[in-house]
Amino acid sequence: MKLIVLSTIALLSLATIGQAQEKSAHTNYVLRCAGCHGMSGSGAPAAGIFDFNGMVGAFAGIDEGRTYLMHVPGVAGSGLSDSEIAAVMNYVMETWAGDSLPEPYEPFTAAEVTERRAIAIPDIVENRRQVAALLQTMGIETADYPWP
């Protein structure tokens, strides 16, 4: 009996250590984002999942866009810590933003993610429209979005 209890404690300890270890931003992207945005970041525009390539950086260049990114359903429901979300966002920007990345680029931080996720966004589709319209008035192109 004592051996079973000690074995169980050892297994639970190992499981806890494994859960506490953060995965790389690339791994988290593959596990949490690639199902919709693909391994190439091309998304599925007809389904409302925009193409990151050469476009996603526009959202990181304005306050409203940075907040929008924290409320995208895949981010909001990812189960990642704020630190992991910041790392994935920076990975996405570094990998696919290209010329759309603002200069100078301000990397996302865990504190910023926490702050922006606390902002209420009742309708993410409407929010996306508003942010895209704001970027358009600034002469910045964004990826197509299928919903009116």
88-131 pLDDT tens trace: 999 999 999 999 999 999 999 999 999 999 999 999 999 999 99
Residue 64 has pLDDT above 70, yes or no: yes
How far is it, in rounded angstroms, from Cα 63 to Cα 55? Answer: 16
For residues 62 and 147, which has the higher predicted lDDT (pLDDT)? 62
pTM: 0.82
- Extract long-range pairs of 110-116: CB within 8 Å, 24+ residues apart: 110/81, 110/82, 110/83, 110/85, 110/86, 111/82, 112/66, 112/86, 113/70, 113/82, 113/83, 113/85, 113/86, 113/89, 114/82, 116/66, 116/67, 116/69, 116/70, 116/71
- Domains, the chain, in order of start with CATH, read 2-137 (1.10.760.10)
